[in-house]
Amino acid sequence: MGKLQARWGILFALPAILGFLIWNLGPMIASFVISFTNWSIAGRPSFINFENYKKIFDDFVFKKSLSVTFYYAVGSVFVGLVVALFWALLLNRNIIGQALFRTAFFLPAITPAIASSMIWLWLFNPTFGLLNSILDTLGLPPLEWIYNEKQVIPSFILMSIWGVGYTITIFLAGLQGIPQHLYEAVEIDGGSWWDKFRHVTVPMISPVIFFNLVMGLIGALQAGFAQAYIMTRGGPNYASMFYSYYVYLNAFEYGKMGYSCALSTIFSFMLFGLTILVFKTSPYWVYYEALRK
Amino acid sequence: MELKERTSRKLENTIVYAFLFIGLIVYILPFAWLVRSSFMDISQIFIQPPEWIPKPFQWQNYPKALTAMPFFRYLINTLIILISVEFGTLLTSSTVAFSFSRLKWRGRDIFFFLILTTLMIPYTVILIPTFLLWKYLGGINTFLPLTVPAWFGGGAFNIFLLRQFFSTIPYELDEAAYLDGATPWQVLWKITVPLSKPGLITVGVFTFMGVWGDLLGPIVYLNDSSKYTLAVGLTTFMSAYTTQWNYLMAASTAIIVPPIVLYFIGQRFFVEGIVLTGLREG
């Protein structure tokens, strides 16, 4: 049986092993190699050593796009975590109509990016959009939203908070896994809801917070293509030049394959480093029940 | 004392419901704005302050918007891609997940780990060399670049998800079948797959959402407008009808309806799927 299992095991896993080599490892190495060439979409490539990397460090748009992307990622992930946890805490109570509320919070998350970009483009419209008319009703001055250099990223963060449905669902499951007797213990000691939240809820769901943080950061750092492509074209004045959109522009609009590969190589190192950093620091703030037992 | 406690409970509940209702309205509002705009006459849409009830009720916006571009062609293209990707993903992610969870072989855990690490690779890194490869193979402007990769395991996320589902099935069932002379292939299709329907539905729904909303892939690989998918078609529609917000909103509504319908059908299962990937380690 052992030998038979081994043979079937490899056969069954073969698609993924080949896929890993052909669609992941191969392209990754290729991207690294291409980043040292001046490959343009039409011409023949030749090696130019570190020329692309040198150019990148003088590239104003690269720096701008990096800061814009991190601004968006940090903002949308942190605000998103807080908002999602808030809704999950409320939904976790014994409430009537829970299914209705859950569905309402989840629907934006399954809306295709192309459609949500269209909706928000129309909501953000400075003259006829809903958001400015709400501000007007409240007696507040109108905003320019995605058409203003300073407001464009906060606007996109707002839009991302509308789509936190997946995060809410995962938080909710984590909250449902907390044993009730821990809360009762706090109650007996005369603790308030804040004590319960601080000393039971947060430590017990810290692995879930961690999971959402890591996945959220990895996702958000790569996000923004649809928004930039449909809503702002990276503007105004590069203020929404998301990294993924800048890589796309270089490769497929300017035809600079080599330069674009250098951009994405730098980006993968950063993403990789960040993930390691988050994992290394996690023992200091994530509580794993299994490890303490 | 008791009275005081009861009043504070009541107050607490009132606050919770108040927040939830505000939340409900805030999250639904963009959809309401979308639908109301999609049924409006173009002159009513620009009235300030905005009106909420379409008058007259322009249901013709839908046929007009959906025939302004060859959306039917785009739908067929999207469905062709979708069917191939669904088959490839479901078939190969099942065999791979089965191998990683229920068969023992040397190097299994290393390969599983390697495949999981691909979740961290930014897709732009993969995109350019893969594009050059397809250009070399002559696959540009065909559906191949958008469908073939799905037949190679269907992606780390789906493998991971199915593996979680498969791991919950007692191994004694497999053992009994092997004693009766069954092959792993038969065990997979006769035991594991029938018992993992929620998992497969989850993968199917996620795959649908991925293909239906994919913008970057079709933009990069499809040049000919007769090959466009719905998502790309919508962007070209948008650049042609920039200020016809009623038509744009009608077309957007049309593209949102299928995922929402699918969500309601598969809801029960794939909420479980999200939770399984989020909460259990390895």
- Identify the band that residue A32 occupies on the pLDDT scale cut at 50, 70 and 90: very high
pTM: 0.88
A–B interface: beta-carbon pairs under 8 A: 264
The token pair that represents A30 in the structure block? 């290729």
Span A58-292 CATH architecture: Orthogonal Bundle (1.10)
Residue B232 maps to a domain: yes
Residues B112 and B26 in one domain: no
What count of other Cβ atoms lies within 10 Å of the Cβ of residue A8?
A: 20
Tell whether B46 is covered by a domain.
no
Q: Are B200 and B77 within one domain?
A: yes
How many Å lie between the alpha carbon of B267 and the closest alpha carbon of chain A? 9
Instruction: Write the ipTM.
Output: 0.84
Are B128 and A31 within 8 A, CB to CB? yes
Q: Residue B53 falls within a domain, yes or no?
A: no
Do residues B136 and B94 both lie within one domain? yes
**C-alpha B228: how far from its chain's center?**
19
Per-residue pLDDT tens for B189-228? 999 998 888 888 888 988 998 999 999 999 999 999 899 9
Tell me the mean pLDDT in the region A240-246: 93
Considering only the beta carbons, identify the residue of A2, A229, A271 that sits closest to B215: A229
**Closest approach of chain A CAs to the CA of B160, in angstroms?**
12
Would you say how long chain B is, in residues? 282
Same domain, B105 and B232: yes
Minimum-distance CB partner of B99 among A13, A112, A222:
A13
B73 and B31, same domain (yes or no)? no
The whole-chain average pLDDT of chain B stands at 88
A145 vs chain B: nearest CA distance in angstroms?
Answer: 16
Average pLDDT, chain A: 88
- The pLDDT-based confidence of A292 (bands split at 50, 70, 90) is very low
Cβ under 8 Å to B: A residues 170-199: 170, 173-174, 177
B273 and B167: one domain?
yes
Instruction: Domain count for chain B, please give it.
Output: 2
Domain membership of residue B169 (yes or no) is yes
How many other β-carbons are positioned within 10 Å of the β-carbon of residue B2? 6
Whether residues B24 and B132 fall in one domain = no
- Whether residue B11 sits in one domain with residue B132: no
- The reply to whether B55 falls in a domain is no
A180-235: pLDDT as tens digits = 888 888 888 888 888 888 888 988 888 888 888 888 888 899 888 988 998 999 88
Q: In this complex, do B120 and A271 lie within 8 Å of one another by their Cβ atoms? A: yes
- Please compute, for residue B101, the number of CA atoms within 13 A of its CA located in the half-sphere on the CB side: 25
Cα(A43)–Cα(A252) distance, rounded to whole angstroms?
Answer: 14
Provide the token pair at A31: 């991207």
Q: What is the pLDDT of residues B117-153, one digit of tens each?
A: 888 888 888 999 999 999 999 999 999 999 999 999 9
> In a 3-state reduction of DSSP, which class is residue B70?
coil
Q: What is the CATH number of the domain that holds B108?
A: 1.10.3720.10
Angle CA B223–A35–A16, to nearest 5: 70
**Is the pLDDT score of A43 beyond 50?**
yes
Domain of B82 in residue numbering reads as 66-279
Query: Among A38, A253, A27, which residue's Cα sits nearest to residue A241?
Result: A253
| Residues of B in Cβ contact (< 8 Å) with A122 | 33-34, 37, 245, 248-249
| Integer Rg of chain B from CA | 24
Question: A257: which chain B residues are within 8 Å (Cβ-Cβ)?
Answer: 128, 132
The answer to whether the beta carbons of residues B2 and B217 sit under 8 Å apart is no
pLDDT of residue A209: 86
Backbone dihedral angles phi then psi of residue A167, each to the nearest 5 degrees: -60, -40
pLDDT at residue A290, rounded to an integer: 47
| Closest chain A C-alpha to B107 CA, distance in angstroms | 9
